[in-house]
Amino acid sequence: MIKKYTSATLLTLTLIVFAAGCTKTDITFGASDDESDPGIVYLDNYAADISTFKVDSFVTSGKSVIAAGYYRDPVFGNITTGSYAEFSIPVTNDVLGKNVTFDSVALVLLPSGNYYGDTTIPVSFSASPLTENIKNEDETNTDFYNSRKFSKSPVLLGSVSTLLRPQKGIPIHIRLNDNFGSELLNKLRTNATDIKSQSDFIKYFKGLYIGTDTINTNSLAYFNASDTNTAIRIYYRLNGVQFASKTTDFKVNTTNQFNHISCDYTGTGLSVFTPFKTQVKTSKQTGNRAFLHSNLGTRIKISFPTLEKLKEYGNYVKIIKAELIIKPTPGTTKYPDQFPGALNIYIADENNSLVSVLSDSEGNTINGTLQVDYLYGEQTQYSFDITGLIEELIDAGKFSKYSLMLTNSSLFSSTVTERLAINDQTISNGIQLKLHILGL
């Protein structure tokens, strides 16, 4: 049975030597790291294999985040994100029977604060009307995946080119077609059939696809879909003795809103993957690297193929300390590319499903100790104390069906971008497993 692993607990492990006459595998050990205790040996770079695990698709609905952008990633490929969104009629009809004059209509998007890429370059946002309702064959199923698409009109309802200022909370306004806005306002004023109920409304207006161009844009933007400031907003004038400027909003129906994400892997280590298919590729197949990306559904799988051979050495072998060192591939974290602020390690089963996260004695998830080399970047690394976990893997031996999975803190996500590439042990700056062993 797999336990919830902690780095604070050192599990006592007594290993029985294999039957007499068993041939031992030759392993080269380093010198003792503690001269006062010659019984402890230090292995600086114990064998570790890495692979890239990629899912076919993942759920991006129900997150209340609109993602839109295009980013040319030299390591992962060209990433395209866009959002399909259904809109709801106003809770109250403030223009029913009123004397009103249409002014303008816009899609207003409030930044969530997250972004990825080069924000010094203007982003060309666009809004395309859908020609197909956002729904599954089973209409009670509201899970929509990053691979899903719905048909849309080739004629844009509106567009804008603007600089992205995500951390300042400045909304993006995409001016929409005046005829569309004027017609919508008139339907509200006259209480037209198309506006009487939500089911009537989505027959008339199925929603929008919100995206960007792929020529000038080089960033991924994220917006808060559930915020009151994110909506199709009609600006109008209430006529009377005195004129009054007013607005009415059609807010996002977050139940039927999700993000589509795709990537062109051409020219990258990920080009060996088939899009939208669950696969595992060894680092030998992907240019001696492994890849983690929250938007692309990839994780880094780690295994230690010779751990069970430690059972062949001595009557008593104990792991005093096991430290896993993860270094970003040099050159892959230069601006505007970034490395994750935190990483997690999970136990994964034979189907590559996550079973249990590495945590401390109090049950808190361990994110790894991050050391940043601000000058050259070559010494930037994450370190994890995986002592107890390694003892468990040794105990399980070659019959273990479990491996480790390195993930970003947000897991698979369309609400934030986290990416990392690491080298295997055949090239410099590769993954390291440092072992301090007693009894060899």
In this predicted structure, what is the pLDDT of residue 213? Answer: 96
Q: What is the pLDDT of residues 427-437, one digit of tens each?
A: 999 999 999 98
Model confidence at 26: pLDDT above 50: no
Q: What is the CATH number of the domain that holds 45?
A: 2.60.120
User: Residue range 194-222: average pLDDT?
Assistant: 96
- 247 and 149 both lie in a single domain: yes
Handedness of CA 14, 18, 20, 22 (dihedral sign): negative
**How does the average pLDDT of the chain come out, rounded?**
88
- 222 and 283 both lie in a single domain: no
Looking at per-residue pLDDT, the higher value among 35 and 396 belongs to 396
DSSP-derived pairing of the beta strands 49-54 and 298-303? antiparallel
- Are 328 and 422 a contacting pair, CB within 8 Å? yes
Q: How far apart are CA 201 and CA 193, in angstroms?
A: 8
In this predicted structure, what is the pLDDT of residue 20? Answer: 29
In this predicted structure, what is the pLDDT of residue 440? Answer: 62
- Are 171 and 108 a contacting pair, CB within 8 Å? yes
- 102 and 239 both lie in a single domain: yes
Q: How far apart are CA 346 and CA 387, in angstroms?
A: 14
- 99 and 225 both lie in a single domain: yes
Q: What are phi and psi of 334, to 5 degrees?
A: -80, 150
Of 32-41, 201-210, 297-306, minimum mean pLDDT range: 32-41
Residue 324 is part of which domain span? Answer: 40-55+278-438
Q: What are phi and psi of 250, to 5 degrees?
A: -110, 100
Q: Which two tokens stand for residue 143?
A: 């899970």
Q: How far apart are CA 196 and CA 400, in angstroms?
A: 61
Percentage of the residues of the chain whose pLDDT score is greater than 70: 89
Q: Considering the domain boundaries, does residue 365 fall inside one?
A: yes
Q: Considering the domain boundaries, does residue 396 fall inside one?
A: yes
- 253 and 289 both lie in a single domain: no
Q: What is the pLDDT of residues 142-172, one digit of tens each?
A: 999 999 999 999 999 999 999 998 888 899 9
- Are 408 and 328 a contacting pair, CB within 8 Å? no
Q: Which two tokens stand for residue 38?
A: 């010659």
User: Residue range 41-60: average pLDDT?
Assistant: 95
Q: Considering the domain boundaries, does residue 25 fall inside one?
A: no
Q: Considering the domain boundaries, does residue 126 fall inside one?
A: yes
Model confidence at 29: pLDDT above 80: no
- 145 and 237 both lie in a single domain: yes
- 329 and 245 both lie in a single domain: no
Looking at per-residue pLDDT, the higher value among 378 and 303 belongs to 303
In this predicted structure, what is the pLDDT of residue 398? Answer: 61
Question: What's the chain look like in SS3?
Answer: CCCCCECCCCCCCCCCCCCCCCCCCCCCCCCCCCCCCCCEEEECCCCCEEEEEECCCCECCCCCEEEEEEEEECCCEEEEEEEEEEECCCCCCCCCCCCEEEEEEEEEECEEEEEEECCCCCEEEEEEEECCCCCCCCCCCCCCECCCCCCECCCCCEEEEECCCHHHCCCEEEEECHHHHHHHHHHHHHCCHHHCCHHHHHHHCCCEEEEECCCCCCEEEEEECCCCCCEEEEEEEECCCCCEEEEEEEEEEEEEEEEEEEEECCCCHHHHCCCCCCEEEECCCCCCEEEEECCCCEEEEEECCCHHHHHHCCCCCEEEEEEEEECECCCCCCCCCCCCCCEEEEEECCCCCEEEECECCCCCECCCEEECCCCCCCCCEEEEECHHHHHHHHHHHHHCCCEEEEEECCCCCCCCCCEEEEECCCCCCECEEEEEEECC
Q: What is the pLDDT of residues 5-23, one digit of tens each?
A: 443 332 333 332 223 233 3
Q: Considering the domain boundaries, does residue 19 fall inside one?
A: no
Q: What is the pLDDT of residues 261-283, one digit of tens each?
A: 999 999 999 999 998 899 999 99
User: Residue range 220-231: average pLDDT?
Assistant: 95
Of 31-45, 173-187, 361-375, minimum mean pLDDT range: 31-45
- 234 and 287 both lie in a single domain: no
Q: Which of 264, 294, 315 is the last residue of a domain?
A: 264
Q: Which of 214, 236, 264 is the last residue of a domain?
A: 264
For the beta carbon of residue 364, count every other beta carbon within 10 angstroms. Answer: 10
- 298 and 186 both lie in a single domain: no
- 289 and 430 both lie in a single domain: yes
Q: Which two tokens stand for residue 242?
A: 């005195």
Domain count, the chain: 2
Whose tokens are 């698979």? That residue is 412
Q: How confident is the model at residue 204 (pLDDT cuts 50, 70, 90)?
A: very high
Q: Considering the domain boundaries, does residue 317 fall inside one?
A: yes
Q: Considering the domain boundaries, does residue 104 fall inside one?
A: yes
- 298 and 254 both lie in a single domain: no
Q: What is the pLDDT of residues 333-343, one digit of tens each?
A: 988 998 999 99
Q: Considering the domain boundaries, does residue 258 fall inside one?
A: yes
Model confidence at 48: pLDDT above 60: yes
In this predicted structure, what is the pLDDT of residue 423? Answer: 98
- 204 and 308 both lie in a single domain: no
